[in-house]
Amino acid sequence: MSKNVSNIMKSHPLQTCIDEVIERTISDKRLVGAVIKVAIHGKEYYSRAVGYADREKNRPMQENTLFRLASVSKPIVSTAALVLVSQGRLHLDDPVDKWLPDFRPRLQSGEPATVTIKNLLTHTAGLTYRFFQKEQDSYERAGVSDGMDQTDITLEENLRRIASVPLLYTPGTEWKYSIATDVLGAVIAKAAGTTLSEAVRSLVTEPLGMQDTGFKTVDPERLSAAYTNDTPEPRRLRDDFDTIPFVEGTAGFRLSPARALDDQAYQSGGAGMVGSAGDFLQLLETLRKGGLPLLPESWVHEMTTNQIGDLPMAYWPGRGFGLGFTLLKDPVAAATSESPGTWRMGGTYGHSWFVDPAKQISVVAFTNTALEGMSGQFTVDLCEAIYEGIRN
């Protein structure tokens, strides 16, 4: 944050509103640490690191702390796909098997199905995640990785396992959040003629100077420890393997924090990246301002327009889905102060973010505490505090 903006914010109601939420949440021991950044009208109006990056080592959170991004990887990888589309190297109506000839999942009836690139981007491909299913359901029986566990399989092997399981529905007829972005990552690599890591670097992160962000942890000393909700305080996740519940009746998230330091782990387009809050804010602001130098504004418009009609979205009432993330349709149904058209998503390891184009607000809230920082009361309180702050 610049000195001038910092001085302004010392007396700005927004500063006070956000600080109150953060300090209350840390005091209540619902979060271990966080980095919060807010840009308004193109200026970074708020930036703060609070709590611990590593509680056990007494290492404080810093604004350049690195985080396991989990699903925050998705908008980055989706942007890379759209750069290829804008260049004419990939097309939304391409069938996936044009690029991945062996990826030919079938319907429940056994009939062949056509999955397109647009289906992958909009999560209407007939796929799911293992953690959404019951224990010992089809994905677990097939050994499918969600991209956050420690596994020695290759991306190609994981795609084979995904394709071996019947689709949950005919592509395009339903919406289910899914491992589709991992499949998309493999398509991107094929279309770019390189690895997914190199493709994302050349198409997205390097042009924007996102030097902290990639499928490899650029500085292990800056990587935050990982925690999850517990009482009386969050517990540290085991490096080797940990399972945390999602919703009752599902298998839950299978997390291996050490995966972020394993150079041999396959590159999961939906969950495998590591990065900083500042880097991600740079991407959000680039898209909000029209997309250059990555994308022409016409493709940002497509990315940020609801592409799924009125298909219901579990866990996200009042929202639709664009080409990579959710879009707000009905603020009342979503119980939020965000403007219609706001983009929003999060990440399992404890992150949330949103962009309100109408009010020119971009917010990145990276934490190291799974679930609370992704979909807990903190995310609601922070959002409402920001809108309260700009109203005052």
Residues labelled catalytic: 71
Beta bridge partners of 321: 326
Q: Under a CB-based contact definition with an 8 Å cutoff, are residues 22 and 221 in contact? A: no
**Burial class of residue 165 (count of CB atoms within 10 Å of its CB; 0-12, 13-18, 19+):** buried
Ranges of beta strands (E only) in 128-232 are: 227-228
**Burial class of residue 139 (count of CB atoms within 10 Å of its CB; 0-12, 13-18, 19+):** buried
Q: Under a CB-based contact definition with an 8 Å cutoff, are residues 87 and 286 in contact? A: no
Nearest to 339 by CA among 307, 373, 383: 383
Q: Under a CB-based contact definition with an 8 Å cutoff, are residues 278 and 64 in contact? A: yes
Beta bridge partners of 254: 243
- Quick one: how far is CA 171 from the chain centroid? 22
> What does the alpha-carbon distance between residue 8 and residue 121 come to, in Å, rounded to a whole number?
40
> What does the alpha-carbon distance between residue 179 and residue 309 come to, in Å, rounded to a whole number?
21
Strands 326-328 and 319-321, by their bridges, are antiparallel
> What does the alpha-carbon distance between residue 221 and residue 81 come to, in Å, rounded to a whole number?
31
Ranges of beta strands (E only) in 99-219 are: none
- Cβ neighbours of residue 102 under 8 Å, at least 6 residues apart? 159, 160, 163
- Cβ neighbours of residue 173 under 8 Å, at least 6 residues apart? 124
Coil vs helix vs strand at 391:
helix
Nearest to 162 by CA among 189, 148, 176, 141: 141
